[in-house]
């Protein structure tokens, strides 16, 4: 019992010390335990000062105290790093993931599901679906920030914007994580309400207006059935992830080239002008260029001077608050109607186009995935809207002939550039995707299937890891990465060993020419044909060697299958060895020349001899 009592007292002391230390750390004060440890260290060093005459004992004691000091310092640094890591997780991972989950719950085919079935998605997802949710939530937060920036440009300074100002609280990552979390919590709650009001309500309205289009089929995270290939699940997840990346790619490029930011700003400003003028809130929301500072000062005068009594001032404030609430309700209703219309029209057009062209490289799940349908429909609507806007501007200004000439010019440019764009956007990415698949995916698929099934059974199924659409999108991403590396060859000489420096000039020149000054034959001869021929050679030569010549040696089917799987990887290894041998020969020749020059020139002096000698 005595031991238990002393242990309880000791545990209370340790707990109190730990809580007090954490409280000091959270307030940014100097830790009392660090001061105590430093004083204790100095006192023990003073006690052991007579042992300084004994070098070994003194060195051992100082080493022990140095180790303890470094240990406690490492613990403090570890706590700081863990705190910053938690804050970064709260900032960069949790909000996008939460909003991605909410968007999936609000828009997927779960309208008739129970609460348990809706939130089962939060813990039943795999890593691939979590990555997809995070990507969708990140895109949603980016669109939210763009809307907030648009409202900041439209409204006057000092106007508090619901769902925008509260979500943009400035915090520091070095703050204690519980304070950081409490500062981020209101923004998360506001974001959840924002998702419900701006996404869930329009989807419900669109479902009532167009029941044949809904519920939306945005994502399906069901695991593959038993008996299917091991690579069927990665194939499904890669297909879904490619769809999300394609959605971001199409929408961002549409917004980049059509530039609807100025038009959206004008529309939002016009809406606030008309609605604010109807409600009598125009001076409160938007600043006019003709207004003077004195007018604003008169508006900010004391309530008693303007209205004569405090009661009238309070009544007017209540009336203004009611009108502001009505303005917020009208703004929300406008956003709901706009989102519902965009959702219905985009999904309808996208589905119609996908089902009208059944041979497109989306024959897998993406053909029935409304992410892809929405992206295609949104691009079509944006293009039609931009063309209509430009035509309306030309026709209202009386420049009909100029409009006809512009249409003819761009029609000829489209006919001239369409084959080149088809080669650059479709053919070359498919070839690159196939090459990456044969080099990096198929060999490892063979090895994993070989190890999982049996070391004595050779897998003969040719189920690809990715479908044709995913291969195309993988090739497109690889092509974009290669173009960026080609532009970096001037600043990074190391890349010149792998990428020819002339590609940087060719790509820059083609980009500067644009569609208006496109030199079709030069682009085809110097840019597209070299890339296409090299890719076709890299794909065709190993296939011919492994599929036509090697089976003539009479080996078994298992050996032929293995050679066919590793043909492209072996060809890459052979090319790498040849390149290394070439570099080694160059280095050897350079070393030989330097030794020869040193041998014949060192110690000799050059002299000028006259002509008669």
Domain boundaries, the chain: 2-88, 95-289+308-397, 402-575
DSSP codes of every residue in 160-189: PPTTTSGGG----TTS-HHHHHHHHHHHHH
pLDDT per position as a tens digit, 369-404: 666 777 778 778 877 877 787 787 777 777 777 878
pLDDT per position as a tens digit, 159-198: 655 555 544 556 666 777 777 777 777 777 777 777 777 7
Q: Could you tell me if 119 and 227 are in contact, meaning their C-beta atoms sit under 8 angstroms apart? A: no
CA atoms of 294 and 296, how far apart (whole Å): 5
The pLDDT of residue 402 is 80
306: pLDDT confidence band, cut at 50, 70 and 90?
very low
The pLDDT of residue 368 is 54
* DSSP state for residue 607 in the 8-state scheme: -
pLDDT score of 102 more than 50: yes
Q: How many CA atoms lie within 13 A of 424 on its CB side?
A: 15
Percent of the chain with pLDDT over 90: 0
* Least confident stretch, 39-43, 325-329, 597-601: 597-601
Q: Could you tell me if 318 and 327 are in contact, meaning their C-beta atoms sit under 8 angstroms apart? A: no
CA atoms of 525 and 372, how far apart (whole Å): 34
DSSP codes of every residue in 395-424: HHTT-HHHHHHHHHHHHHHHHHHHHHHHII
Q: Which of 535, 534, 542, 541 is nearest to 569 (CA)?
A: 542
Rounded to an integer, what is the distance from CA 305 to the centroid of its chain?
Answer: 55
Token pair of 157 as six digits: 């300074």
Which pTM does this prediction carry?
0.55
Is the alpha carbon torsion for 554, 558, 563, 565 positive or negative? positive
Range list of H helices, 357-399: 370-396
* DSSP state for residue 217 in the 8-state scheme: -
Q: Which of 440, 392, 374 is nearest to 572 (CA)?
A: 440
The mean per-residue pLDDT over the stretch 442-461 comes to 52
CA angle (215 as vertex; 192, 103 as ends), nearest 5 = 20
Phi and psi angles of residue 132, each rounded to the nearest 5 degrees, phi first: -65, -40
Q: Could you tell me if 476 and 429 are in contact, meaning their C-beta atoms sit under 8 angstroms apart? A: yes
pLDDT per position as a tens digit, 259-303: 666 677 777 788 888 887 787 777 776 655 444 444 443 444 444
CA atoms of 446 and 416, how far apart (whole Å): 44
């Amino acid at each position: 019992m005595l031991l238990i009592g002393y242990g309880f007292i000791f545990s209370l002391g340790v707990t109190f010390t730990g809580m007090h230390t954490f409280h000091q750390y959270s307030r940014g004060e100097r830790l009392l335990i660090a001061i105590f440890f430093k004083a204790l260290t100095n006192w023990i060093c003073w006690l052991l000062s007579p042992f300084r005459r004994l070098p070994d004992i003194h060195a051992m004691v100082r080493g022990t105290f140095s180790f303890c000091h470094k240990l406690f310092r490492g613990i403090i640094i570890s706590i700081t790093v863990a705190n910053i890591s938690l804050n970064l997780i709260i900032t960069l991972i949790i909000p996008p993931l939460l909003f991605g989950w909410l968007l999936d719950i609000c828009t997927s085919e779960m309208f008739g599901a129970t609460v348990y079935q809706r939130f089962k998605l939060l813990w039943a997802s795999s890593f691939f679906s979590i990555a997809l949710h995070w990507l969708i939530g990140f895109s949603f937060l980016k669109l939210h920030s763009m809307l907030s920036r648009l409202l900041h440009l439209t409204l006057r300074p000092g106007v508090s914007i619901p769902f925008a100002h509260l979500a943009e609280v400035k915090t520091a990552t070095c703050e204690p994580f519980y304070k950081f979390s409490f500062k981020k919590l209101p923004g998360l709650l506001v974001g959840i309400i924002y998702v419900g009001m701006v996404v869930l309500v329009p989807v419900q309205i669109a479902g009532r207006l167009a029941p044949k289009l809904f519920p939306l089929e945005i994502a399906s995270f069901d695991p593959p059935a038993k008996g299917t290939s091991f690579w069927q699940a990665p194939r499904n997840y890669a297909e879904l992830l490619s769809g999300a990346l394609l959605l971001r790619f199409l929408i961002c490029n549409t917004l980049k080239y059509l530039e609807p930011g100025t038009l959206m700003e004008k529309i939002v400003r016009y809406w606030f002008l008309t609605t604010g003028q109807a409600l009598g809130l125009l001076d409160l929301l938007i600043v006019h260029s003709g207004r003077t500072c004195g007018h604003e000062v008169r508006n900010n005068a004391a309530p008693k001077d303007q209205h004569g009594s405090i009661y009238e001032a309070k009544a007017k404030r209540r009336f203004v608050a009611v009108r502001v609430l009505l303005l917020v309700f009208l703004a929300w209703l406008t956003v709901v109607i706009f989102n519902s219309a965009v959702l219905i029209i985009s999904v309808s057009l996208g589905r119609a186009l996908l089902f009208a062209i059944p041979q497109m490289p989306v024959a897998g799940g993406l053909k029935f995935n409304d992410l892809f349908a929405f992206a295609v429909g949104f691009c079509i609507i944006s293009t039609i809207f931009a063309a209509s806007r430009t035509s309306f501007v030309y026709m209202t200004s009386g420049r009909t002939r100029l409009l006809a000439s512009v249409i003819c010019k761009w029609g000829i440019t489209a006919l001239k550039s369409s084959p080149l764009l088809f080669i650059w956007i479709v053919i070359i990415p498919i070839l690159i995707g196939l090459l990456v698949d044969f080099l990096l995916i198929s060999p490892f698929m063979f090895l994993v299937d070989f190890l999982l099934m049996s070391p004595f059974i050779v897998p003969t199924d040719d189920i690809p890891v990715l479908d044709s659409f995913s291969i195309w999108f993988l090739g497109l991403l690889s092509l974009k990465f290669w173009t960026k590396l080609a532009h970096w060859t001037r600043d990074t000489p190391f890349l010149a060993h792998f990428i020819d420096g002339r590609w940087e000039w060719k790509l820059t020149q083609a980009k500067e020419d644009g569609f208006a000054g496109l030199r079709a034959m030069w682009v085809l001869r110097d840019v597209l044909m070299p890339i296409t021929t090299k890719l076709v050679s890299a794909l065709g030569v190993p296939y011919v060697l492994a599929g036509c010549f090697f089976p003539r040696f009479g080996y078994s089917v298992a050996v032929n299958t293995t050679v066919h799987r590793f043909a492209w990887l072996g060809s890459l290894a052979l090319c790498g060895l040849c390149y290394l041998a070439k570099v080694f020969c160059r280095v050897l020749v350079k070393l030989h020349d330097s030794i020869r020059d040193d041998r014949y020139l060192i110690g000799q002096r050059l002299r000028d001899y006259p002509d008669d000698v």
